[in-house]
Structure 1
């Protein structure tokens, strides 16, 4: 059985896998599938995510859909340097949030112009991972390399929910470097491929710009709006496995663990202000639990040019209560994908998944409950164009 015949069935699943509305700030599970492709390989893809998250504030006012639609892009290139050494460059957008509260509820300010009355949050990221893979023998490969990451955040808190801090603004942007390392085992004649990948946490330090209404009262406006601050994106572990069931069918499983319970973001002025006001510095956002996610799927080649797959998904979420920038507790999901070989080098993939989000209470820093979010769903659709040359 040829290597590409078996692996091709499962490789198509990466068009959607990991690009979704997951725990914490996750928008991608940072897969490195391109590294395991044979020959020279390149791909480019896009995913459109449509979550629907509604609920009620603590006073019973309706909260319309707060989670706005987002798009994420990914690309990868891979080639062999020598028969034993390969290199891959992989781009994705692993973290993100796009939230805006509308309507008449406790997240809308009544004393500000309509253009600035909404609580809203936007987080974006870009990640470039460069990996060198070395074959120890015909079955085992080790790989490692740096990960260059940019993360940007913009927050505007408004309304009764935030009390004296209604009117809080924050912006942050930084680029930093982490690292990735792992090991894989392959037995192509049986369609077996397993990999274990570790990503380090990445600490960002840059100037944080803040407007803190409560600080204007406590410090009489005598504070700097621009201060050095830091945010650390979490480490992660990915375990991927696949095996051939017969010449045209493959079974695969992917598991991911992220310690979101260790994540907390303390903008410097907000921390100093809450320390002075309540005796302890409070974070802008933090999570209670670690995330575990699992995907299990089956791929089937229908003919030499067309293959399809189905998958089931589960994400534990990062705790309940959850921050209001993503007030869901994990999800259950189902996915469907197809890959069509346009010619011997070029293929087009299309897929989607539907998600049923877990109910969650919304909270702000300090553990105060401010909302209730139930019966929410979402979906994601993605496409990918890939090129392979032996």
Structure 2
């Protein structure tokens, strides 16, 4: 296999590698494909994600689509510092949630002004990863580096669903550092590239603003601004590809995230539920770990055009699921294409369609408050890349 075909699948599929609609709060599988590009490389990508999640609340009211569309950008640059040492800087938006309930249902408060009556959640994140890769020999590379992560959240819980805590508000904005490490094996003449990447958890210690109706009802005297923490989970990514012939390759990607270890306990919510129930409740947690798998085939149709098709499966993070993302994993199908304008400049475009698993929606005190079935979603993305080998 010619050296310029070595990363055929990586090049095609990376248009969508940075985005997904996955378990927990995850919005990106945090791939590092740019590190494996040859020579000097840069890319900029845009993704639009449109989940459609509907159902019924515990009183039988219909719930219109509560998962709002969202967009994200991703960037990456990579260069060779020496023949054996390379540097990649990668930006993505790995965690998020965008939820808003409309209509007449148990997620809408009837005792508040219309502008403040809806349950809504907006979580955003930004992540910059810097990786140094060192070639131990012609086949094996080790790599590691820091990851700087910012996460911002605004949560507003309303309606009968949240009982005594209808009217609860939570917000914070923080930046913290973690790390990434891994190794890869490449055999260009066979079109083989495999990598195993570990990404650490990142603990955010920050000031959390809370308005807690339950604490007000209990007569607690509390500050609305307190120190607390939230820890985004660790993860492991395994990527593999192999050439079948000069123009065709197969690939597989596996991602594991221990979401069952994740729980966010805002300080006053925890204190008030301890006082009322004898135990502190989280704002959100998950019962299962997530495993996501993508398997596919790439084909170069012409010197300047290549395509790839793939099948996807995500285990989800448990059913019942929190109301900010009430799906239990998904099955999906993907299609992507890359067109090279010339030896240096290329444009990629792709899409994925997902069939979400049915799930019961629950609150953190384990009350079932909704039933979500037969839901789907799609992703479209595009990327412009520059490569000087």
Contact 1:310 1:335 survives alignment (8 Å)? yes
Q: Is the 8 A contact 1:6 1:250 kept in 2?
A: no
After TM superposition, give the deviation of residue 3 of structure 1 in Å.
Answer: 2.4
Encode CA deviations 1:244-269: one digit per residue, 9 max, x unaligned.
00000010000000000000000100
Q: CA deviation at 1:21?
A: 1.2
SS in 2 for 1:189: helix
1:35 counterpart SS class: helix
Contact 1:331 1:357 in 2 (8 A): yes
Q: Secondary structure at the match of 1:216?
A: helix
Aligned residues: 389
Map of 1:320 onto structure 2: 319
Question: Which residue of structure 2 lines up, in the alignment, with residue 181 of structure 1?
Answer: 181
Report 1:1-390 matches (<5 A): 1-220=1-220, 222-390=221-389
RMSD: 0.7
- Aligned-residue offset at 1:18: 4.7
- Whether the 8 Å CA contact 1:6–1:247 is kept in 2: the answer is no
TM-fit CA distance, 1:16 = 1.2
Q: Is the 8 A contact 1:9 1:301 kept in 2?
A: no
Superposed displacement of residue 6, structure 1:
3.0
Kept in 1: contact 2:125–2:152 (CA 8 A): yes
3-state SS in 1 of match to 2:361: strand
Question: Which whole-Å CA distance do the structure 2 matches of 1:149 and 1:4 have between them?
Answer: 34
1:212-250 C-alpha deviation (Å, 9 max, x unpaired): 011112134x21000001000000000000000000001
Which consecutive aligned stretches of 4+ in structure 1 deviate over 4 angstroms post-superposition? Answer: none
User: Any conservation in 1 of the 2:10–2:33 contact (CA below 8 Å)?
Assistant: no
Structure 1: how far apart are the matches of 2:248 and 2:35?
Answer: 22
Deviation of residue 8 (structure 1)? 2.9
**Cα deviations by residue, 1:248-302 (Å, 9 ceiling, x for unpaired):** 0010000000000000000100000000000000000000000000000100000
**Alpha-carbon distance between aligned partners in 2 of 1:3 and 1:206, rounded to the nearest angstrom:** 48
How far apart in 2 are the matches of 1:9 and 1:283?
A: 41
SS at structure 1 position matched to 2:17 = coil
The answer to whether the 8 A contact 2:9-2:251 is kept is: no
**TM-score using structure 2 length:** 0.99
Q: CA deviation at 1:10?
A: 3.3
Shift of 1:20: 1.8
Unaligned runs of 5+ in 1: none
Shift of 1:12: 1.6
Q: Give per-residue Cα distances to partners, 1:53-98, cap 9 Å, x unaligned.
A: 0000011110000000001111100000000000000000000100
| Contact 1:10-1:299 at 8 Å conserved across structures | no
Task: Provide the rounded CA distance (Å) in 2 between the counterparts of 1:153 and 1:181.
Answer: 28
Q: Residue 216 of structure 2 aligns to a residue in which SS?
A: helix
Q: Look up the SS of the partner of 1:94 in the other structure.
A: coil
What TM-score, normalized by structure 1, do the two folds share? 0.99
**CA–CA distance in 2 between the matches of 1:9 and 1:156?**
42
Q: Distance in 2 between matches of 1:287 and 1:376?
A: 20
Report the secondary structure of 1:242's partner residue.
Answer: strand
TM-superposed CA distance for 1:5, in Å, is: 1.6
